[in-house]
Amino acid sequence: MYEEHPNALALIKNRKSVRDFIERDVEPEKRQAIYDAILAAPTTENMMMYSVISVSDPEIRAKLSKQPAIRRAPMVLVFCADYRRWSRIFDGMTESNRRPQEGEYQLAVIDTVIAAENAVLAAETLGLSSVYLGDIMEHFEDRTAALGCPAGVVPVVTLCIGYATEQQLNRAPIRRYQQKYLIHEEVYQDFDRGELMEMLRDRGQYESMEQMQTWLAKFSARCVEGKGSIERTRSIRAAIDSWSKLSF
């Protein structure tokens, strides 16, 4: 048997992403505990609009991401939004011609992500670490082919789980932005650009304003015009289009 972490809040606060793992497999009972946590996650109307694909084959993994974590992790789970099951169940139940659309997609993605985060927290309680990989949202056609996903099953996020290396465990956590910018009372508070620059500066990882501006220029270019960002949008449009192949 294994010991679980006794203090859930401390565990949530101290968690950080881990991108390198020692060569130690995840024990079967821990894998099962992670699956149990996934299945217990909150889910729209109890519909569980996700499927999780556990991938160990290095050839399949190589088709999902070029990031080293996917090669190193003993446990790789791909969380997919899945409306296929319900489309089959509903098929022919009504006269409607409507097909699953953005609304169904959004609910399924929410279900999927909540299930994934349950896996993250369960892994932490078991002494394991993890990192999400978001590049599964790109190249929809190739990723679904590699995973054998039929229409209505869309990979949303990959989770790499394993035992952290010493170096990763000792790495300082990434500081968050201050609470006042993120958590609002009663109504939304719209900060002006000056305040938002202060929010960035306050995180304290820049030695000077000039250094922060340099980082910001690169970061905004990546988010706005980066190849990954543009491909992700194309890919998600293709994914949503594929849902219209389903019927109710």
Query: By three-state DSSP, how is residue 80 classified?
Result: strand
Question: What is the closest distance, in whole angstroms, from the C-beta atom of residue 139 to ligand FMN in the complex?
Answer: 13
> Per rule CB under 6 A, is residue 164 in the interface with ligand FMN?
no
Among 67, 90, 165, 212, binds ligand FMN (CB under 6 A): 67
Closest residue to ligand FMN using C-beta atoms = 134
Q: From CA 199, how far away is CA 203, in angstroms rounded?
A: 7
| Paired tokens of 181 | 């910018």
Question: What is the closest distance, in whole angstroms, from the C-beta atom of residue 117 to ligand FMN in the complex?
Answer: 9
Q: Which residue has the tokens 């992670």?
A: 34
* Closer of 42 and 173 to ligand FMN (Cβ): 173
Among 9, 93, 172, 174, binds ligand FMN (CB under 6 A): 174
Q: Which residue has the tokens 């960035």?
A: 200
> Per rule CB under 6 A, is residue 135 in the interface with ligand FMN?
yes
> Per rule CB under 6 A, is residue 17 in the interface with ligand FMN?
yes
Q: From CA 133, how far away is CA 19, in angstroms rounded?
A: 10
> Per rule CB under 6 A, is residue 157 in the interface with ligand FMN?
yes
* Closer of 89 and 169 to ligand FMN (Cβ): 169
Question: What is the closest distance, in whole angstroms, from the C-beta atom of residue 174 to ligand FMN in the complex?
Answer: 4
Q: From CA 102, how far away is CA 95, in angstroms rounded?
A: 20
Determine contact, residues 82/50, Cβ cutoff 8 Å: yes
> For 52-173, where are the alpha helices, taking DSSP H only?
58-64, 68-72, 84-90, 102-125, 140-147, 166-170
Among 42, 58, 134, 150, binds ligand FMN (CB under 6 A): 134
Q: From CA 46, how far away is CA 204, in angstroms rounded?
A: 43
Among 131, 149, 153, 164, binds ligand FMN (CB under 6 A): 131
| Paired tokens of 97 | 């011609």
Contact footprint for ligand FMN (CB under 6 A)? 16-17, 19, 67, 131-135, 157, 173-174
